[in-house]
Amino acid sequence: MLAKMMGYFLLGLVRVLTGAQARWHGCPPKAEQRIYFANHQSHADLVMIWAALPRELRHVTRAIAARDYWTKSPFKKWLTSAVFNVIYVSRDRTSDEDPLEPLIEALHNGDSIILFPEGTRGHLGEPQAFKAGLYNLALKFPQAVLVPAWINNVQHVLPKGEVVPVPVLCSVTFGAPMHLEPGEDRRAFLDRARGAVIALRDV
Amino acid sequence: MYFYLKNLPASSQVGALFILVFGLLLIASVTSFAFSIKEFSDEERAEQRRNNLQSINGILRTSWLMVVVFWLGWMTGNRVALTLFGLVSFFSLREFLTLSPTRRGDHRSLVLVFFAVLPFQYWLVYAEHFDMFAVFIPVFVFLALPVVSALANDPLHFLERNAKLQWGIMVCIYGMSHVPALLMLHFPGYDHRNAFMVFFLVMVVQVCMVTQHLSGRWLRSKAVAPAISSSFNWPSWWIGISVASVFGAALAGITPWVPGTAFAFSFIACLAGSFGHFVMKALKRDRGIPSWGAQGRSVTGAGGLLDRVDALCFAAPVFFHSARWYFDL
């Protein structure tokens, strides 16, 4: 109940501050299993893409969040698990387990996921090189549709180190789905995926 | 008829006015809908008609929205009306600043503008501190904001960034807040009818803009400054202003003025409004965009609210302060 209220509150807040507009260029919002992958510039990206999705899809689409950051305080943990229902991944590679394990489990359950393949927040205009996770998932789940997304302007809402957000219009642009070509090299695929995300900046 | 209306109590007059306006809007909307289902054999003409209808529908939608806002404001009292105008300020400033990108160093100033300056300015209107309300932004805020920005330790494009911020505040907060401020003016012998003044100003400016837009389409005269606006030309500008001023004179019955005075004040408001709209076009050209909204196609997702209210933002302060000075209120 509290989580639901918080969800509505955040949704309202994001809409007032940013407009949270979704622009579907290349594919309609559709209830099929998808892997959305987007650029990452701010913590607000997570909320932004969540708010931009239609309500029906929001429930079956889970974002990926770094375990070390988002479980640091009880509030952050509650927010990410109860409100956003995110999938935690560990960034440190000390353990032997596959860091993609929780994602694979979610995809097996039929959920769609939101991935930030840069792994960390970028500071420059262009996203950094993508990490291999996207490739591995695409290889393992060929039926999941890969949808690139460009999140625009969010870094202006809440720059690093600030606490009060300012209102700036933001949008999420979803592009045409892409596929892993048979026998495509890992690096080539990741570069192609990154290119697809960057290309959405100017449509 | 005229005297019958003149002698009605104020609230019935306002009510009658709203019935009239809602009726007119309904007729306009139905007409536009009827045109939209008409078929054309010629594909090119159909396309042109579609584009025309789209821009007219945009204007109609804004008019509906404005009238509903006024109606709500009138029904629920000044406080709600002020809040609604405050929201319009908020959203149009959001649009303005999105398209004039700021840097990280401006973050604190922006927080201040949105969450302190804007509410305080509207509170000043509500509390009827008119002297303070007129100088609060130009004197106090324009001194405080550069200080906050400078403290952020980022000299790059400092003047430019501050100028953009100040422009945004001037147009979206200062200008807009003068519209509901009309609700608070006390004209002698004109109690409880101030909603009419807001209505008068908005109607006159809106009529000016629509007439100018339509006559510009119809006349196709040479543009004055084609690099800034392909549609702004003197003949249609004159037509817009004169039609709106005559319209304002015809509305004199709902103002505290005689037709001559109403004509003069409409003229002043339209002068400021139409030139203000033109200036905002120059700003948009500078940013390389055709409109603040671009019908949801722009990457910012802006709704194009500022396109609709910019004329009003320029007209309101000029109208308000000339009226206040002239009648010594």
Could you give the residue ranges of the DSSP H alpha helices within chain B? 2-7, 10-36, 43-76, 78-98, 107-112, 118-126, 130-135, 142-151, 158-168, 176-181, 194-219, 234-250, 259-287, 305-326
Q: What is the pLDDT of residues B7-28, one digit of tens each?
A: 677 777 778 878 888 888 888 8
In this predicted structure, the answer to whether residue B296 has a pLDDT above a threshold of 60 is: no
Phi, psi (degrees; rounded to nearest 5) at B223 = -70, 145
Task: Note whether A41 contacts B: Cβ–Cβ < 8 A.
Answer: no
| Number of domains chain B contains | 3
User: Which residues form the domain of B38?
Assistant: 1-76
Closest residue to A169, CB basis, from B111, B115, B302: B302
Q: Are residues B139 and B175 in the same domain?
A: yes
- What amino acid is encoded at A93 in this protein? R
Q: Are residues B166 and B234 in the same domain?
A: no
Question: Chain A interface, mutation test: which of B91, B92, B107, most A Cβ atoms within 10 Å?
Answer: B107
Between B266 and B72, whose confidence is greater? Answer: B266
Query: Using 50, 70 and 90 to split pLDDT, how confident is the model at B2?
Result: low
Task: Note whether B95 contacts A: Cβ–Cβ < 8 A.
Answer: yes
**Measured distance CA(B149)–CA(B127) in Å, rounded:** 30
Phi, psi (degrees; rounded to nearest 5) at B68 = -65, -40
Query: Using 50, 70 and 90 to split pLDDT, how confident is the model at B120?
Result: very high
Burial B279-302 (b: 16+ CB within 10 A, else e): ebbebbeeeeeebbbeeeebbbbb
Strands A171-174 and A145-152: antiparallel
Q: Are residues B20 and B96 in the same domain?
A: no
Closest residue to A166, CB basis, from B114, B300, B303: B114
* Contact residues, chain B, for A171 at CB < 8 Å: 299-301
Model ipTM over 0.90: no
**Measured distance CA(B147)–CA(B112) in Å, rounded:** 12
Q: Are residues B322 and B195 in the same domain?
A: yes
Domains by residue range for chain A, with CATH: 34-202 (3.40.1130.10)
Q: Are residues B209 and B168 in the same domain?
A: no
The per-residue pLDDT for B294 is 47
In tens digits, chain A (203 residues) has pLDDT values of 888 899 899 898 988 888 888 888 888 888 889 999 999 888 888 888 999 998 888 888 999 888 888 888 999 899 888 888 899 888 776 666 677 888 888 999 989 999 998 877 776 678 888 888 899 999 999 899 999 999 888 888 887 778 888 888 888 889 999 988 888 889 999 999 999 999 988 77
Tokens of B124: 């000043």
Task: Among B45, B76, B107, give the residue marking a domain's end.
Answer: B76
Q: What is the pLDDT of residues B216-245, one digit of tens each?
A: 888 878 888 888 888 888 999 999 999 999
Task: Among B158, B184, B210, give the residue marking a domain's end.
Answer: B184
Phi, psi (degrees; rounded to nearest 5) at A182 = -60, 130
Q: Are residues B238 and B329 in the same domain?
A: yes
Q: Are residues B55 and B166 in the same domain?
A: no
Phi, psi (degrees; rounded to nearest 5) at B40 = -125, 140
Q: Are residues B223 and B281 in the same domain?
A: yes
Question: Chain B interface, mutation test: which of A14, A21, A41, A169, most B Cβ atoms within 10 Å?
Answer: A169
Interface contact flag, A167 B94, Cβ < 8 Å: yes
Q: Are residues B120 and B7 in the same domain?
A: no
Radius of gyration, CA atoms only, chain A: 16
* Contact residues, chain B, for A48 at CB < 8 Å: none
Q: Are residues B280 and B199 in the same domain?
A: yes
How large a percentage of chain B has pLDDT more than 70? 92
Task: Among B36, B61, B76, give the residue marking a domain's end.
Answer: B76
Q: Are residues B101 and B214 in the same domain?
A: no
Q: What is the pLDDT of residues A7-30, one digit of tens each?
A: 899 898 988 888 888 888 888 888
The per-residue pLDDT for A93 is 67
Q: Are residues B192 and B318 in the same domain?
A: yes
Closest residue to B300, CB basis, from A164, A169, A203: A169
Q: Which of A50, A63, A141, A70 is nearest to A104 (CA)?
A: A141
